[in-house]
Amino acid sequence: MAFTYDYARPALTVDCVVFGFDGGGLQVLLIRRALEPFAGSWAFPGGFVEMDEDLDVAARRELEEETGLRDVFLEQLYTFGAPARDPRGRVVSVAYYALVRPDQHPAAGGSDASEAGWHAVDELPGLAFDHAEVLRVALERLRGKIRYQPVGFELLPKRFTLGQLQGLYEAILGRGIDKRNFRRKVAAFDFLVPLEEFVRGRHRPARLYRFDRRKYRALEKRGFLFEL
């Protein structure tokens, strides 16, 4: 075995599982494919990696091209490379997942996507390629991650109520949480800063909080472990 460069190479793509939260349930952003294969089916935004481009750069580029989203939380998820996962031939895909705040929600359009839209994760249409499997892995990761890393704040507005925060955790973990216990626990985190602002609704006004990333990072360096 010498100059392995002469080998045939798989094509390489990135795909992004974009999560959002609307106050009710967890959602994902899907693109209706314009082109074959799977034209007309729903799929995650993604596309081919360019030769001089880092993987996460490619993921951000495709995300912006296909959905207009930028400056979002993005992390590599897993690489899917089953030989038959793409009917066109060998295509290996590095999957990422992104978390976006409601105020960042996109305006669709662009490149080879014809339509973009949010779908509740528990009532999705059939997905192209192996994207159902990709989603399964992404959900598993998100559910695991949210318990020991402060990533939930990436899905909420910058200022949020404790009710929203609790609702998010309940939606992702799929179970109810005791309100008093939840509030006592988060009140002990001093990177969760209470503001002097309130939201009004058809009920008692709720205090707004924000997540102070600087304070969190400082604590983290001192060995603090987030857990909720």
* Catalytic (active-site) positions: 115
Which one of DNA, its own copies, none is in contact with 39 (Cβ closer than 5 to 8 A by kind)?
none
* Alpha carbons 19 and 118: distance in angstroms, whole number: 9
Q: How far is the CB of 170 from its own copies (least distance, A)?
A: 18
Output the CA torsion sign for 155, 43, 91, 135: positive
Among 22, 23, 40, 112, indicate the residue that binds its own copies (CB under 8 A): 112
Which one of its own copies, DNA, none is in contact with 82 (Cβ closer than 5 to 8 A by kind)?
its own copies
Which one of DNA, its own copies, none is in contact with 190 (Cβ closer than 5 to 8 A by kind)?
none
Name which of 90, 122, 106 is nearest 45 in CA terms: 106
Give the binding range for DNA (CB under 7 A) out of 4-12, 90-98, 183-191, 215-223.
Answer: 183-191
Cβ 208 vs Cβ 192: under 8 Å: no
Burial 59-95 (b: 16+ CB within 10 A, else e): bbbbbbbbbebeebebeebbebeeeebbeeeebbbbb
Residues touching its own copies: how many (CB under 8 A)?
Answer: 33
Residues touching DNA: how many (CB under 7 A)?
Answer: 21
Contacts (CB under 8 A) with its own copies, residues 11-40: 11-12, 35
Residue 145 is a binding residue for DNA (CB under 7 A) = no
Residues in contact with DNA by the rule CB under 7 A: 161-164, 178-181, 183-185, 198, 200-207, 227
Residues in contact with its own copies by the rule CB under 8 A: 1-2, 4-5, 7-12, 35, 47-55, 76, 78-79, 81-83, 88-90, 92, 94, 111-112
